[in-house]
């Protein structure tokens, strides 16, 4: 039906039935602040001994190896990074053992997260 002004009538009085938000709606709640808690370090649960390879002993190889195990949120070693090498034979012996370890994963903000576990081993002859 057309109104005297020539516009279609909705049968409602002006100012009613609007589509704007009602006064009972609430403003959106503010976003929770991002968690800034520093992650804990993964903790070893089971360890495989890091053996001194017989071939390395026989050749007189010795030295310090430092590595970082990248531990996923399920506690498994995903990758091992050598940060200080004592030669490939000793590095590989340590890496082989470390990949078999299991960990309690790192935690941040109440959740398990990927973490880094540094480890150092000195291989010495005569011990």
Q: Indicate whether 8 belongs to any domain.
A: no
Rounded Cα distance between 79 and 74, Å, is 14
The predicted pLDDT at position 35 comes to 77
Give the CATH number, domain containing residue 84.
Answer: 3.30.2420.10
Judge whether 2 and 9 are in contact, CB under 8 Å. yes
Q: Indicate whether 87 belongs to any domain.
A: yes
Domain membership of residue 116 as a residue range:
43-123
Alpha-carbon Rg for the chain in angstroms: 32
> Mean pLDDT for each 10-residue chunk of the chain (127 residues)?
51 51 65 78 97 95 98 98 97 98 97 97 88
Total domains in the chain come to: 1
Rounded Cα distance between 65 and 7, Å, is 86
């Amino acid at each position: 039906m057309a109104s005297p002004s020539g516009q279609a009538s909705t049968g409602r009085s002006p100012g009613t039935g609007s589509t704007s938000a009602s006064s009972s709606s609430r403003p959106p709640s503010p976003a929770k602040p991002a968690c800034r808690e520093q992650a804990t370090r993964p903790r070893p649960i089971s360890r495989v001994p890091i053996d001194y390879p017989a071939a390395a002993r026989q050749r007189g190889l010795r030295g310090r190896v430092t590595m970082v195990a990248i531990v996923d949120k399920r506690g498994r070693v995903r990758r091992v990074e050598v940060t200080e090498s004592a030669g490939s034979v000793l590095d590989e012996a340590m890496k082989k053992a470390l990949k078999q370890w299991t960990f309690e994963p790192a935690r941040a903000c109440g959740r398990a997260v990927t973490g880094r576990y540094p480890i150092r081993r000195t291989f010495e002859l005569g011990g």
